[in-house]
Structures are given as structure tokens and as C-alpha cells.
């Protein structure tokens, strides 16, 4: 249990480092690019366009709106949080491996590298969310007080991403195959999560799958916060308990795997 406080304290003590490093990693990512940070908008926009054509115009045909929402808004409100979660898990899982030279040669708390990747993902999330927020305000999809539950989404998603990231960042170094496994699992989750399809129209089986899918819980919370008129949070008490019990367990395992492995990094390369 001590390890959990230790890792949180470590992040707090190195907060300046984490923010500084994430700024530099953004800079290096877009060094030599003409459009720079604008790619953070352009890339999701292109994906939205593609999925709208394929899933909206192609698969759905003329069925049109999802409930009160135009399909494109439904799609955006699912795709933006999805891109953030999937990219976040990917980046957090590769965070230590991609800086292996640094970790094995400098006295450096490697857990901060995971935080750096999460901060980067959050920056992306804030950029894309601000677009959706503007759309939502203009068309009045949600009442302003609901937007506050976006904060809940941020906390919950960071908890899930860092738990998976802590476990996977260690595993991908020990077992290289895990990277491929992870990518395939993530791709699978894209289809199992109500992003381009809607829970309200889905088969009962999909409801069952979604209720066991923590990503679906997060995406639906994002949607509820930004574009739906319903209660401030998605899901019932059992959904909340399910999500947090699973996340807490994963986090505990992740923290301990991380600490057990961290000092022996060189022995396992």
C-alpha cells in the first residue's frame, strides 16, 4: 500500500520536471513540421470525416440521428475520448522503453516518464474537447452545469490509463510481444466500445459487453458530460463500483510491478 503513496508523491515532487519534459517532447514531436500543433486537430478531423463517410453515410444509411443527436456529433463525442484513451495507453505503455537509454544511464525516476506521456495525451484531449464544447454550446446539446462532469472523466481516465500504462510499460520491456498484443487488444476495443454505434439502438449482447468494458464507461461519461441531456454521470452505482474496483486493482498491481522491476531494469534487457 505504501508504494501507492510513494508513486503519487514522486509525481508531485517532480511535477516541474513532468511539465517541462512534456513541453519538450511536444516540441521534438513537431520539430520540422510546418503545421505543428495544428496536427492535433487535423488528424482527428480527418478520422472523423472518414468514419462519418463509412459508418454514417455508408452503414447507417438514412437512419440519421442518434436519439436527439446528429450522427456526426455522436461520432465526434465518441471518437475524441477514444483517441485520447487509446493513444494515451499506447504512449504510456511505451514510455519507459522509448527512453531506455536515459533510464539505464541516469538517476531518474522512470515513473515520471509515464506521467509525461499522460500529460501529453491530456493536452490533446483539451484541444479536441474544446472543439466539441463549442459545438455543444452553440447547439445547446447539454446544460452548462453538466460540463463539470468532464472533470470526473479526466480523473477516471487518468486513473485507468496510468494503471494500464504502469503494468504495460514494464511488460513490454520484459516481453516484447506484449506490444503487439496490446495494439491488437486496443483495436478490438475500438469496435466493442459504443463509438460509431449507439448503445440505445444496440443488441442486448452489446449492452452486456459494454457494461464490462471500462472504456465504454469512460466514453459514455464523456458523452454524457458534453452532449447528452441526462444525469451528470453515466451509469448506475454498480457501473461506478465496477469501474473503480477494477481500476484500483490494476493500479495496485501496476505500481508494485513498476517498483519491483524498476531497479533491475538493466538485468532484463
Letter string b/e over residues 209-223, b meaning 16 or more CB atoms within 10 A of that residue's CB: ebeebbbbbbbbbbb
Residue 69, strand partner residues: 66
Rounded distance between C-alpha atoms, residue 85 and residue 88, angstroms = 5
Asked whether position 183 contacts other proteins by CB under 8 A, the answer is no
Contacts to other proteins from residues 90-109, by CB under 8 A: 99, 101-102, 104-108
Angle at the Cα of 129 (from 99 to 15), degrees rounded to 5?
Answer: 40
Nearer to other proteins, 28 or 200 (CB): 28
- Nearest distance in Å: CB 249, other proteins: 4
When binding is defined by CB under 8 A, the residue of 11, 17, 70, 199 that contacts other proteins is 17
Asked whether position 205 contacts other proteins by CB under 8 A, the answer is no
Span from 15-23, 38-46, 56-64, 125-133 in contact with other proteins (CB under 8 A): 15-23
When binding is defined by CB under 8 A, the residue of 5, 38, 49, 212 that contacts other proteins is 212
- Provide the greatest CA pair distance for the chain: 59
Rounded distance between C-alpha atoms, residue 53 and residue 75, angstroms = 11
Contact (Cβ atoms closer than 8 angstroms) between residue 220 and residue 213: no
Contact (Cβ atoms closer than 8 angstroms) between residue 269 and residue 103: no
Asked whether position 27 contacts other proteins by CB under 8 A, the answer is yes
Contacts to other proteins from residues 135-164, by CB under 8 A: none
Cell of 75: 461520432
Footprint on this chain of other proteins (rule: CB under 8 A): 1, 16-17, 20-21, 24, 27-29, 31-32, 99, 101-102, 104-108, 174-175, 208, 211-212, 236, 238-239, 241-246, 248-249, 252-253, 256, 260-261, 263-264, 266-268
Amino acid at each position: 500500500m505504501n508504494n501507492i503513496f510513494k508513486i503519487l508523491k514522486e509525481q508531485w515532487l517532480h511535477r516541474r520536471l513532468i511539465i517541462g519534459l512534456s513541453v519538450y517532447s511536444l516540441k521534438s514531436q513537431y520539430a520540422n513540421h510546418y503545421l505543428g500543433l495544428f496536427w492535433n486537430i487535423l488528424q482527428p478531423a480527418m478520422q472523423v470525416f472518414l468514419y462519418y463517410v463509412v459508418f454514417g453515410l455508408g452503414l447507417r444509411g438514412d437512419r440519421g440521428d442518434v436519439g436527439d443527436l446528429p450522427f456526426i456529433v455522436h461520432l465526434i463525442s465518441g471518437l475524441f475520448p477514444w483517441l485520447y484513451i487509446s493513444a494515451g495507453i499506447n504512449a504510456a505503455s511505451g514510455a519507459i522503453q522509448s527512453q531506455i537509454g536515459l533510464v539505464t544511464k541516469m538517476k531518474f525516476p522512470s515513473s515520471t516518464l509515464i506521467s509525461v506521456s499522460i500529460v501529453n495525451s491530456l493536452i490533446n484531449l483539451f484541444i479536441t474537447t474544446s472543439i466539441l464544447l463549442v459545438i455543444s454550446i452553440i447547439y445547446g446539446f447539454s446544460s452548462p452545469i453538466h460540463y463539470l462532469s468532464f472533470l470526473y472523466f479526466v480523473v477516471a481516465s487518468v486513473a485507468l490509463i496510468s494503471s494500464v500504462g504502469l503494468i504495460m510499460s514494464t511488460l513490454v520491456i520484459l516481453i516484447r510481444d506484449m506490444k503487439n498484443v496490446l495494439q491488437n487488444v486496443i483495436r478490438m476495443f475500438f469496435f466493442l466500445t459504443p463509438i460509431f454505434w449507439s448503445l440505445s439502438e444496440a443488441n442486448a449482447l452489446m449492452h452486456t459487453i459494454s457494461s464490462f468494458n471500462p472504456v465504454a464507461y469512460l466514453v459514455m461519461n464523456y458523452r454524457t458530460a458534453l452532449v447528452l441531456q441526462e444525469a451528470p454521470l453515466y451509469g448506475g452505482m454498480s457501473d461506478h463500483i465496477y469501474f473503480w474496483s477494477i481500476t484500483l486493482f490494476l493500479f495496485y498491481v501496476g505500481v508494485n510491478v513498476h517498483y519491483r522491476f524498476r531497479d533491475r531494469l538493466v538485468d532484463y534487457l
